[in-house]
């Protein structure tokens, strides 16, 4: 009987240990932080006229910082707003905008890179790859 009791305790211990999860993945797969766009394609053609930084904060605020080249001049634009993430959908709602929130589909997310897609009505599919 003691043999079965000991075996039962060992099995319960193994089951409890295997059911516990390490939540490091939740931190690793967070969209929060500073992201630099490393590649931006519209309908598989590279978009090269801007440098973009995306900042997503823990309080669900964001800044999109653009350096847009217009001829030989560089224009700095900063758009602020809020964001939410549900599953693989990242919803961006810019302040002072009459537009509906923009819905990005996350197709890849790791601790160092993220890829998202956006369907732009009348233009096609924008795919951006970002790194930390």
Q: Which residues of 64-98 are buried (b: 16+ CB within 10 A; e: fewer)?
A: bbbeeeeeeeeeeeeeebbbebeeeebebebeeee
- Range 34-56 average pLDDT: 87
**Residue 130 pLDDT greater than 70, yes or no:** yes
Per the model's pLDDT, the better-predicted residue between 12 and 81 turns out to be: 81
pLDDT of 70 reads 81
To the question of pTM greater than 0.95 for the whole model, the response is no
| Contact present, 105 and 117 (Cβ < 8 Å) | yes
55-77 pLDDT per residue, tens: 999 999 999 998 877 888 888 88
Residue 132: its H or E element: none
75-118 pLDDT per residue, tens: 888 999 999 999 999 999 999 999 999 999 999 999 999 999 99
Q: Identify the band that residue 121 occupies on the pLDDT scale cut at 50, 70 and 90.
A: very high
**Mean pLDDT, all residues of the chain:** 81
CATH class of 25-131: mainly beta
């Amino acid at each position: 009987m003691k043999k079965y009791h000991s075996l039962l305790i060992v099995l319960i211990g193994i089951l409890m240990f295997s059911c516990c999860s390490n939540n490091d993945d939740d931190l690793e797969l967070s969209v929060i932080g500073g992201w630099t766009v490393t590649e931006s394609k519209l309908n598989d053609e590279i978009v090269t006229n801007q440098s973009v930084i995306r900042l997503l904060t823990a309080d669900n605020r964001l800044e999109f910082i653009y350096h847009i080249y217009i001829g030989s001049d560089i224009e700095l634009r900063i758009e602020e707003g809020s964001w939410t993430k549900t599953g693989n959908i990242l919803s961006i709602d810019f302040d002072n905008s009459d537009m509906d929130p923009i819905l990005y589909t996350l197709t890849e997310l790791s601790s160092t890179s993220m890829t998202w897609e956006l369907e732009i009505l009348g233009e096609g599919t924008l795919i951006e790859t970002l790194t930390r």
